[in-house]
Structure 1
Amino acid sequence: MFKKITALLLAIAVLTGCVGISEVASAKEFKTQSSPVVDSKNKVELKSNKEKRVAPIVARIIVSAAGYAVKKLGKKVADDVWPVVKKKLDDLLEKAEDISIKGPGGGERVFAIFDKNKEIFRLDAKLLKKPDGYYLWVHYHITPDMSEHHDIAEIYMGKNKPAGW
């Protein structure tokens, strides 16, 4: 019971902005308790029903999304873009009924959120090479037009190509 309460408090701290996502990603509770079970395809299924409350499920999705952002983007970049992402997710997940999250893919995807198996939000990051160095273009896609890019930030990463990209 204590572990469930700790996980819920951690999720609430992220939702309210009291705790940054880098603290969540490095917290022991995040790695052991707050993060839902991930299958071999890096997909998390969190299905709501009438007996369960929506808030804890949304909180788990938010905490998972924060963890994926830190994993793919790094602590500094994730902390810079998280306020924009969190605001969009708060508005979007309020209306969702049967939500799931899929983590980083081999390409641009940082994470994608699904409602009834239909993608409703995707956070992407693309490495751009410009004359003065490398930039990380962070943007999102949201329903109803998932093909449209919504810019969050273009962050200078340095003269050399960042590791892992």
Structure 2
Amino acid sequence: MKKWLQKGLMISVAVLTLGIIAPNHEIWNHLEEGKELRTYTPNGNNVASAVQLDQLSTDMQEETADEPQQLVQTMKTAAKEQAYIKFGTRIAPVISDDFEERIFPKMEEAIESTVARLDNDTMRSLSITEKPSGNYSEKIFHIKNSQTKKDVIRFHVRTENRLDDGYYYNFHYHTFEDQFAKHYDLGEIYWSKNTPPKWLS
């Protein structure tokens, strides 16, 4: 057998098995010499391979255990992106510090606690809406079950005009657990006495 073909096969075996199964060089010697192969006898390499397989299985279990944390982290990242899209270029520079310090940490907690109460199938089906509402509408984003198309949690911001005080942004959320009836407060950010710009502007 040509050397380049032999090396190609060895590399293919190593790549396909992710290095778990090391090609036995005795095979090539016997093929070149036309001898019969010996029967299988365990050796140190086989034990090492078994240990590597056990480690791979443990790593996969850890990845599965990390799946909810990765999902929550993905949701948090998307939540922040959607919030800043809603704020637009006129509102974001004014309220971003207060949002980062006081509102977003509570938003993260709400996402974590809501996702933690869901079953695994629902958790894996979660998606986040990507179109915050403009004008003076409240919707920042919703997290929904993509299979049932039903919302799980809704994050909103309401613009409130308080006489003599001015305008405030009231951040809150609603959950499916009470049919979105209750407001769960995340906090407020003061704008000014002047009318704020429209969202997305």
**TM-score if structure 2 supplies the norm length?**
0.51
Structure of higher CA gyration radius = 2
Match of 2:191, SS? strand
Whichever residue aligns with residue 114 of structure 1, its letter is K
Equivalent residues of 2:169, 2:189 under 8 A apart? yes
From 84, 89, 92, the counterpart of 2:106: 84
Residue aligning to 1:105 = 133
Question: Does the 8 Å contact 1:136/1:156 carry over to 2?
Answer: yes
Q: Would you say the 8 A contact 1:122–1:141 is kept in 2? A: yes
**Shift of residue 72, structure 1, vs aligned partner:** 2.4
Structure 1 CA distance, aligned partners of 2:97 and 2:140? 15
**1:22 corresponding residue in structure 2:** none
Mapped contact 1:70–1:78 kept (Cα < 8 A): no
The answer to whether the 8 A contact 2:86-2:133 is kept is no
Contact 2:99 2:189 in 1 (8 A): no
- Structure 2 counterpart SS, 1:148: coil
Percent identity for Structure 1 against Structure 2: 27
Of 126, 129, 132, the residue aligned with 2:161 is: 129
| CA distance, structure 1, for counterparts of residue 186 and residue 69 of structure 2 | 26
Is structure 2 residue 195 aligned with structure 1 residue 161?
Answer: yes
- Displacement after TM superposition at 1:143 (Å): 2.2
- Partner Cα distance (1:137, 1:60) in 2: 25
- Equivalent pair of 1:69/1:78 in contact (CA under 8 Å): no
- Alpha-carbon distance, 1:142 to partner: 1.2
**How many residues are paired up?**
115
Q: Please report how far the alpha carbon of residue 149 of structure 1 lies from its aligned counterpart in structure 2 after TM superposition.
A: 0.8
Three-state SS of the structure 2 residue aligned to 1:144 is: helix
Residues 136-158 of structure 1, C-alpha deviations (whole Å, 9 max, x = no match) = 11111012111211112122210
Aligned to 1:63: 77
Q: Distance in 2 between matches of 1:58 and 1:156?
A: 29
More strand by share: 1
Query: Which residue in the other structure is 2:144 paired with?
Result: 114
- 1:69 and 1:78, CA in 2 relative to 1: closer, same or farther beyond 3 A? farther
Q: CA deviation at 1:55?
A: 4.1
